[in-house]
Amino acid sequence: MRVAVLGSGAIGACVGAALHRGGTEVHLIARGAHLEAIRSNGVKVLSPRGDFEARTPATDDPAEIGPVDYVFLGLKANSYASADPLIEPLLHDRTVVVAAQNGIPWWYFHGLKGPYEGRRIETVDPDGSVTQVLSLEPAVGCVVYCSTELEGPGVVRHLEGTRFSIGEPVGGRSERCETFSAAMVAGGLKCPVEADIRTDIRIKLLGNAAFNPISALARATMVEIATHQGTRAMVRLMMEESLEIAAAVGCHPDISVDKRINGAERVGGHKTSMLQDLEKDKPLELDVILAAVVELADLTGTTAPTLRAVHAVADLLATKVGVTPATTAARSPATAGS
């Protein structure tokens, strides 16, 4: 089995190293000092579960790799539409794309029975630009419950979590998901195959849609948001509204808001990915994490006043940052984290 990791930032490099450790043929796609460090010394993963190294092939040119069986997509979702030159050389007619993205995926209504089946979410897939690059049939969903950061070129600090839930957009369990899961498990990761991956998406999004924008607006960590009376109340409202929207499109996650907030509080002084992107002058993943939720509220006639208000302010912040996804994708598409 050949796997290419496109987007070998902290998450991608960690997954690639783990797959290599489990015996999979892995090729990493990276750039700059990170690429040179991987070429010279491999990937070093520093983890409370035990440090390890993996000497995997690495390149900045996917054409050197050619078609593979699986592409693990670690790019930020806001760079998908511009990533065709990186993705196309890796594909053949049976290549599976495991998309480890935050928020609502471009395939969300693909194969989902009901009134919205086949509908495109404009904030996620504007004018079908993402679907043109990433067609629907090869896509497998992946929800990441793993926290990592790049400590330096070629060095990944694994903070917590090893779970990567995967599943078919059309539901059920498939051979291609089972095969990838087995490779991940062989490398020391958890990779359950979910019959309904949208439930996992919604459970993670419940936290991301609230904590990510608030963290960027307030420059606050998870524990600071969860222990401040005002922001904790705001998170609660946003989560309740998110659950209402999820139910309106047929998804009913079995999780309490209190449990979700308390879990975020236990994470402690962790900065969300959106706050980290803001501090690094990168574009914010606002479209898939919050704008898409508001679009689904519009679609279903859900009021969602708190989500709408926070989105309006966060959108203004994203505008003022002044960095567009296109410019960042052109600068470093292969090293963006998930």
- Domain end, chosen from 176, 195, 214, is at 195
A 10 A CB-CB count for 172 gives 12
Residues 122 and 211 in one domain: no
Residues 113 and 138 in one domain: yes
CATH number of the domain that residue 161 is part of: 3.40.50.720
336 located within any domain = no
Residues with Cβ within 8 Å of residue 246, at least 6 apart in sequence: 202, 252, 253
- Domain end, chosen from 173, 195, 217, is at 195
User: For residue 119, what are its two tokens?
Assistant: 């509908």
Residue 331, pLDDT score? 33
Q: Of 204, 271, 282, 320, which one is the catalytic site residue?
A: 204
Per residue of the chain (338 residues), give pLDDT as tens.
999 999 999 999 999 999 999 999 999 999 999 999 999 999 999 999 999 999 999 999 999 999 999 999 999 999 999 999 999 999 999 999 999 999 999 999 999 999 999 999 999 999 999 999 999 999 999 999 998 989 999 999 998 899 999 999 999 999 999 999 999 999 999 999 999 999 999 999 999 999 999 999 999 999 999 999 999 999 999 999 999 999 999 999 989 999 999 999 988 888 899 999 999 898 999 999 999 999 999 999 999 999 999 999 999 999 887 644 433 333 333 333 43
Residue 267, pLDDT score? 84
174 located within any domain = yes
DSSP letter for each residue of 196-245: -HHHHHHHHHHHHHHHHHHHHHHT--HHHHHHSHHHHHHHHHHHHHHHHH
337 located within any domain = no
334 located within any domain = no
Query: 3-state class of 325 per DSSP?
Result: helix
Rounded Cα distance, 186 and 178, in Å: 12
Residues 170 and 259 in one domain: no
Residues 181 and 50 in one domain: yes
Residues 191 and 204 in one domain: no
Range of the domain at 322: 199-328
Residue 322, pLDDT score? 61
Distances (CA, A) of 101 to 53, 79, 107, 124, 299: 25, 11, 12, 12, 22
Whether 204 sits among the annotated catalytic residues: the reply is yes
Domain count, the chain: 2
242 located within any domain = yes
| pTM (2 d.p.) | 0.91
17 located within any domain = yes
Residues with Cβ within 8 Å of residue 48, at least 6 apart in sequence: 158, 160
CATH number of the domain that residue 235 is part of: 1.10.1040.10
Residues 156 and 95 in one domain: yes
Residues 139 and 225 in one domain: no
